[in-house]
Amino acid sequence: MKKAIFRGKANMTNKNKYSKHQIPSTKLRPDAKRKKIWNLEFGIWNLSRVMVFGTFDIFHPGHKNFLKQAKKYGNYLIAVIARDRTVKEVKGKLPKNPENVRLKNVVSSGLADKVILGNLSDKYAVIRKHKPGVIALGYDQFNYTDGLIKKFLNIKVIRLKPFKPSIYKSSKIRRQITDSRQ
């Protein structure tokens, strides 16, 4: 049996057992990804899957920070990219970049373990399919979030902190790009 990775001193008498004082890292062997780990920093169980949702139009440092924050709550991060039609319904306009480009941008960041497009007909289908332990929401995400806690009682829903929202917000960056072209 392979030795787990620990933060702190390893128990030298029995390397395969956790002592009360050992804190397992969230970076586990691939065969151990489904295990729950107590995260003292956040006071929650680190569950294997964390799911985030977003448009991720004009991928910027705010998005990178969002994905990094979410990854701390689990061992496997699934990023769900909003479909073009969904963005049009919610925001009233199409994103600057089409859904496939936005998906590729998130994949190329290397921050998410899996990147998928959302479901057009049932917004909650990806949650039922991938069964995350945690859903991490951005500080400004409010669409389709009201029913999350009621529909998915066994999933912890958390809201992440903003990262320089006065600078890194897609709508502001888009406005800056438009203004610089005029």
Contact 59, 101 (CB under 8 A): no
pLDDT-based confidence at residue 162 (cuts at 50, 70, 90) = confident
Residue where the block lists tokens 């829903």 = 157
Give the model's pLDDT for residue 25.
Answer: 34
Higher-confidence position of 71 and 165: 71
Express each pLDDT in 2-59 by its tens digit: 444 434 433 334 343 333 333 333 333 333 344 555 555 555 555 579 999 999 998 8
Higher-confidence position of 160 and 16: 160
Which tokens is 179 given? 């203004």
Of 89, 66, 35, residue with least CA distance to 136? 66
| Ordered domains of the chain (ranges, CATH) | 48-175 (3.40.50.620)
Residue where the block lists tokens 């050992």 = 22
Q: CA angle at residue 81 from 49 to 55, to 5 degrees?
A: 125
Express each pLDDT in 65-109 by its tens digit: 999 999 999 889 999 999 999 999 998 999 999 999 999 999 999
Residue 146 reports pLDDT greater than 90: no
Mean local confidence (pLDDT), 133-155:
83
pLDDT-based confidence at residue 119 (cuts at 50, 70, 90) = very high
Mean local confidence (pLDDT), 143-167:
79
Q: CA angle at residue 100 from 94 to 104, to 5 degrees?
A: 125
Higher-confidence position of 163 and 121: 121
Give the model's pLDDT for residue 10.
Answer: 39
